[in-house]
Structure 1
């Protein structure tokens, strides 16, 4: 229906839907010629590029399963995901090829591609700077790949003109489409088994939730990493299923994104809280016509009220907060248009049931009480790949129905809006009190001189845990605000048992791949010191 519409705009290279479909079929044929069959796992170790989209759809065309790998993973981490998933074929960025080799695994095929293959020729020189930004601390090697011995060039497979891919019967409710790996908050990362029906359910129940969205008319700013479930489903899958145009960025360049809002007449923007935090302070933010956007969405972490208020004051628009996990195919809750409640991640989207239970007994709790969020619906994963015990712990029977336990502590108000308190694993026990790290962080964020904060519990034999706050000050406050002043500020607005006993100042905090403050890394630093 949208054959002539632009599907992807990649720094000026435009792929229409007919072109995208043609390349998907050609790559699917090439993969089939290499022996890829229904049910096989194929790893995508790629940056945000047209190749990711083409590869993703080609793998699904064959009834095979996509397992996306973070481009910042080392060869050790790549080895774990390849070994655990059983993937025997990898499609990788050329600069990441050495990491694939470094796994030491005997793979059936490695397909290599470069970022310049889809850049306009006048922008080919831009490719290396994009790689430098995307790879961050990674070294950018000069890559020369010699095909042969199971190594293939991406473009060679496209131009091979292999036989058309075989027609494959797919049971959408049983057959896997994607095997993304969770962040590994407890132990190594686990593969969440997502079916074709899961992908469709998330698309339809989120798009129906926002009636302003129109098929064939949307332009989506797509900078969120596609290997992560948020960018992959909410931006890429939803955008393509809508017949929209993805304005694709390999890196998060705020100037480019600001320019793209008007240049491409964007209608949808998906980001994370840290993105909006930086964007609201950017000197050029006021130049963009933010009011043209139908949806400005934040997910993947808690959106602080100070960020929402400052953004609205700067742009005249409101950010809608949502919620979801890898196991829920990215989305379970969102704020409805016209009924946004600041501080809440919204209400369940269509066809999703949500409840709050006692984390230990699984008994349902009444409105207003804090407990563990449980979910059920067509977006919930089948389980964890190869891990029946972990699946049984996460998918539990409550009063005759199977619910997914999220591990998140939340509260629901009288209007059905949900409020995030903390991850269950981040709960701090101090002298018998239960302390939410996030509550302390939220309070610290309200101080005008504090830019960022992370709170953890330091193990202590007498009190259980001692509360420690790791704080990043605004530039003008550095060297001027003391730890004692931070503690005194906390005493003004927090109960005595919530006040940090230790304050550490840093220039920056560790973050996860999608911009969350990584409390896990902060705790691991303590373990390393100990």
Structure 2
């Protein structure tokens, strides 16, 4: 285990953490006792104190248990956009001694049916606007009960409210259908809370980019490790407001924008839909100190021509992951705010981060250093040989946040772990290297490498170079079939507004020739107005690549 990175460790922060032997739900009860009247949630002008938040959670937990007969350890679907209801339902499911299964609200009914069947789900808490995607599953799966939530219930009087937040409560008047109001306004009382740190709390699913999605089994213990670790690393306190823009169903938003603020007793300013103008307004209005986002979101935020109209001086921490932040964007951020973007790295299997950049010594386009008690190494992915400084291979991790395994996937579990020096390591599938100071740098996904005339080309590296062009707002590089080279490089580019109609694809290609090795530069460039992305903001490079392969095969 390398220890060179300890010289850059945050000051006054221990190298190792003792994880509390309390659960995620316990964190809420403790914060509510400490700060009962303090704002927990701010939502389009509406507010909930920590005392109110805990009351709503306990009320809904009683309803889940007594009215819907949710049993201990049962999987419960949470299918909802960012909202107070998401936070309440999540913690209510935990309080009911059950397991949260948070699912992407962008999924279709057919896609959703896979998760319901995979987890044998009987009860779902659903955003009202997503009801039509859920209702068909009542007749084709194990799904029996649906609680629907209208986000307007907690919203205030602000004018800039998304359409789905403005919807009033709808009564469905069908068997086993319940409104949010029914689920929190009743005289039922939940049984004693009896979960331990080793009981399963949440089961986020992988994105399914390399096969069927897989449920990641996370007990309270693994979630608590990263919730406490995030608070310690970033010096989070009850007095630092958080802007919540990442989707809470995804582990990065879930951990850093919900669990960590609740652990520290801080207010959460929640946005249901991303809006760069409103985000800037909220940073100024609510004196936001902490904002965890993703590089694509930050790029959009910084390209806002109206940004100079707002004060960003309250910001203390800007952090995120998902994809490396281009160096040029990081420099723009620094000149605007004086802040360095604190990049991190993690997966659904590690309930967010295993690596973090030290806040006082961050490196651009860098995963950071291993977090508390994490042993991270680089191996050659076929021979499993451990590699050293500067050598490129697969990241494997051992740490307190590593999940217990995939749900009902014994074959996957056997292939996803290996033993080194008597310790169990998870194979991430990500290709990286580390430098002599112990900082890790992503190269790309194992599956993403392009083989151009026998040369290995990592798309992330090419994208980083493209971001240096002043006209490029976003870039996505893929390998496309080529009869001579096997594969060749194609770059999809979103231009800055002031460059549209002035810069050509050919000019980008010619510029790239001067910036990159001959085997590496993109032979083709295609301009796009926007990229397809996941709801967490990650660019769907695989979709672009598949489209190119279909074109090459003559598929329309």
TM over 0.5: yes
Aligned to 1:258: 280
Aligned to 1:136: none
Which one of the candidate residues 150, 159, 168 is aligned to 1:114?
A: 150
**What is the CA–CA distance in structure 2 between the aligned matches of 1:87 and 1:300, rounded to whole Å?**
29
| Cα gap change, 1:57 to 1:492, in 2 (>3 Å) | same
Q: Is the 8 A contact 1:38 1:168 kept in 2?
A: no
Are 2:267 and 1:245 aligned?
yes
CA deviations on 1:331-374 (whole Å, 9 max, x unpaired) are: 11111121122221211111111111111111110111111111
Which one of the candidate residues 55, 67, 88 is aligned to 2:122?
A: 88
SS of match in other structure, 1:411: strand
CA deviations on 1:436-478 (whole Å, 9 max, x unpaired) are: 0111111111111222221111234653322222222334443
Are 2:178 and 1:178 aligned?
no
Are 2:91 and 1:48 aligned?
no
**What is the CA–CA distance in structure 2 between the aligned matches of 1:128 and 1:344, rounded to whole Å?**
35
SS of match in other structure, 1:278: helix
**What is the CA–CA distance in structure 1 between the aligned matches of 2:165 and 2:231, rounded to whole Å?**
33
| Cα gap change, 1:430 to 1:25, in 2 (>3 Å) | same
Q: Is the 8 A contact 2:155 2:165 kept in 1?
A: no
Within-5 A mapping of 1:396-407: 396-407=418-429
Aligned to 2:40: 7
Aligned to 2:131: 97
Q: Which range moved further: 233-242 or 478-487?
A: 478-487
Are 2:241 and 1:205 aligned?
no
Q: CA deviation at 1:329?
A: 0.7
Q: Which range moved further: 453-462 or 424-433?
A: 453-462
CA deviations on 1:8-42 (whole Å, 9 max, x unpaired) are: 11122211111111111110000001110111111
| Cα gap change, 1:25 to 1:398, in 2 (>3 Å) | same
Are 2:354 and 1:332 aligned?
yes
TM-score when normalising by structure 1: 0.93
**What is the CA–CA distance in structure 2 between the aligned matches of 1:220 and 1:183, rounded to whole Å?**
26
Q: Is the 8 A contact 2:280 2:312 kept in 1?
A: no
Aligned to 1:66: 100
Are 2:394 and 1:372 aligned?
yes
Which one of the candidate residues 189, 198, 222 is aligned to 2:244?
A: 222
Structure of greater relative contact order (alpha carbons < 8 Å, 6+ residues apart):
2
Q: Is the 8 A contact 1:95 1:143 kept in 2?
A: no
**What is the CA–CA distance in structure 2 between the aligned matches of 1:369 and 1:343, rounded to whole Å?**
17
Number of aligned pairs? 516
Q: Is the 8 A contact 2:299 2:473 kept in 1?
A: no
Aligned to 1:509: 531
Q: CA deviation at 1:143?
A: 8.0
**What is the CA–CA distance in structure 2 between the aligned matches of 1:387 and 1:106, rounded to whole Å?**
20
**What is the CA–CA distance in structure 1 between the aligned matches of 2:514 and 2:315, rounded to whole Å?**
40
Q: CA deviation at 1:170?
A: 2.4
Q: Which range moved further: 269-278 or 304-313?
A: 269-278
Q: Is the 8 A contact 1:286 1:314 kept in 2?
A: no
Q: CA deviation at 1:144?
A: 4.1
Aligned to 1:147: 173
Structure 2: which 5+ runs fail to align?
1-33
**What is the CA–CA distance in structure 1 between the aligned matches of 2:455 and 2:462, rounded to whole Å?**
14
Q: Which range moved further: 440-449 or 253-262?
A: 253-262
